[in-house]
Structure 1
Amino acid sequence: MLRYRTPFITLFLALSACSSPYAEHPIKPIRSSQSLNDIWDNDYRFFIGHPTPDRFSVCHSMSCYKISEASINKQDWQNILTLFANNDSAEDERHAVQQAIASLEFLVGIQISSQHDLARNQIASNRYGQMDCVDEATNTSVYLRMLENAGVLTWHTTASRMSRGIFQGQAPHNTATMIDTQTQIRYAVDSWFYENGKAPVIINLDKWMSGWEPEQQ
């Protein structure tokens, strides 16, 4: 995928390397190798690492060029949680996750003017409000963390973001992930392929890492 910035330092965080569960670690934007220390300290230090529905951070405008604070009101949040009320299997829960993230993208988009975010890296007029895979992977991780903290993920646990392409001769690409607690299968939860408010792809991470694209279904 095309990027506005030079290649970034990716977050390869193996679960076995963590001294505590992923859900206890603060979420941070993926840091660009081009970012100077003062830019990082001044802009990214305000990113909310432990998000809650009434106060969380999101990235936008390509590679976390902008960070905005957002919130979800109690009624909208309850409507999202209701999506998980009758999930009898991990597959049902993954479908609910897709619906929840689509709803959260829509609600957040109105607040931060990213409601017209196009699929992939298409840009209608300028990059403001448009999201690349760094933004999408970060924001989806935030949404997953909030769902996990709400106790509605009974079949899955959240996991760190993953990257592909750097060592496979492909364009670099990032995704949020989660793990099926019954099978231990790790899934990519990728919102980048579609426009704002559309359900993200949830696919076996190994398949995603191989370079999978939606057209290959």
Structure 2
Amino acid sequence: MTLALSACTTYDSDRPITPIRSGQNLSDIWDNHYRFFIGQPNPALFSVCHSMSCYRISEVSLSEQDWSGILNLFNKTTNAHEERQAIQQAIANLETLIGKQIGSEKDLARNQIANNRFGQLDCVDEATNTSVYLRMLEKAGVLKWHTSASRTSRGIFQGQAPHNTATIIDTQTHTRYAVDSWFYGNGEMPVIIYLDDWKAGWEPESN
């Protein structure tokens, strides 16, 4: 059971990223794991969640070559639409690179579990990790038309199952988008859609 996040009205790129806490009393897990979450990520050392609702947190890193390859995706973007496409590819590539380090390379779409929870990511993990990746891209200065924004949720007041997502904001139109990688398996490009559509219950036509 996850705790849904409410949408924030302000977006602070310097605010530390923290895991989403479960609605249950998980003080032991919090004390032993969450305190090690790196709230100000950088490619040389950052934290990611996995194994369902941040049950496990791992510190990972990217080589200079791998990080340069991610940043190069943004070299030829000329507008916000192209930048969103580059963000999709960057997150997919980061999931592939990080999956090899934490054992989530076989993460299935949604909350499917092949053998056990370890290595599987739910929407809490995906929203947190995507926010980490977006923050690092923003800090690297490659986002010219967007800024990273807070995670948000849907479902609590719509009669739907609670679901979380990372978000970005178009700095020219001030439009907010959901960046949701939960619908697809590890290394597949996340969907980037209008947040209002996502809030209304958007689902892929097929999966």
Counterpart Cα distance in 2 of 1:15 and 1:148: 19
Secondary structure (helix, strand or coil) at the match of 2:178 reads strand
Instruction: Indicate which of 10, 15, 18 corresponds to 1:28.
Output: 18
CA distance in 1, matches of 2:181, 2:67: 20
Residue 160 of structure 2 corresponds to 170
Q: Displacement of 1:42 after TM fit? A: 2.0
Query: What is the aligned counterpart of 2:6 among 2, 12, 15?
Result: 12
Find the aligned partners of 2:189 and 2:123 in 1 and give their Cα distance: 15
Distance in 1, matches of 2:29 and 2:71, equals: 36
Alpha-carbon separation, structure 1, partners of 2:46 and 2:92: 17
Question: After the TM superposition, which residues 94-173 of structure 1 pair with which residues of structure 2 at under 5 Å, given as runs?
Answer: 94-173=84-163
Cα distance change of structure 1 residues 213 and 13 upon mapping to structure 2, 3 Å threshold: closer
Amino acid at match of 2:146: H
How many correspondences in the alignment?
Answer: 206
- Establish whether residue 190 from structure 1 lines up as the match of residue 195 from structure 2: no
Cα distance in 1 between the residues matched to 2:202 and 2:89: 22
Quick one: which amino acid aligns to residue 172 of structure 1?
P
Matches of residues 71-86 of structure 1 in structure 2 within 5 Å? 71-86=61-76
Measured in 2, the distance between the counterparts of 1:44 and 1:210 equals: 31
Task: Give secondary structure in 1 for the equivalent of 2:143.
Answer: coil
How far is 1:59 from its partner?
0.4
Letter in 1 for 2:89: Q
Match of 1:3 in 2: none
Deviations 1:42-87 (A, max 9, x none): 2100000000001000000000011011111000100110000011
What code does the residue aligned with 2:46 have? F
Q: Give percent identity, aligned residues only.
A: 68
User: 1:22 is paired with a residue of what secondary structure?
Assistant: coil
> Aligned-pair distance for 1:36?
3.2
Quote the residue 1:211 is aligned against. Answer: 201
My pick for the range that moved more, 32-41 or 78-87, is: 32-41
- What corresponds to 2:81 in structure 1? 91
| Superimposed CA distance per residue, residues 95-152 of structure 1 (whole angstroms, 9 cap, x where no aligned partner) | 0000000000000000000000000011111110000000000000000000000000
Report the counterpart of residue 189 of structure 2 in structure 1. 199
Residue segments in structure 2 that go unaligned for 5+ positions in a row: none
| CA contact 1:159–1:176 (8 Å) conserved in 2 | yes
Q: CA deviation at 1:13?
A: 4.5
Other structure's SS at 2:186 match:
coil
- CA 1:7–1:52 in 2, change beyond 3 Å: closer, same or farther? closer
Letter of the aligned partner of 1:97 in structure 2? I
4+ long deviations beyond 4 Å: none
TM-score (norm 2): 0.96
Q: Which runs of 5+ in 1 are unaligned?
A: 1-5
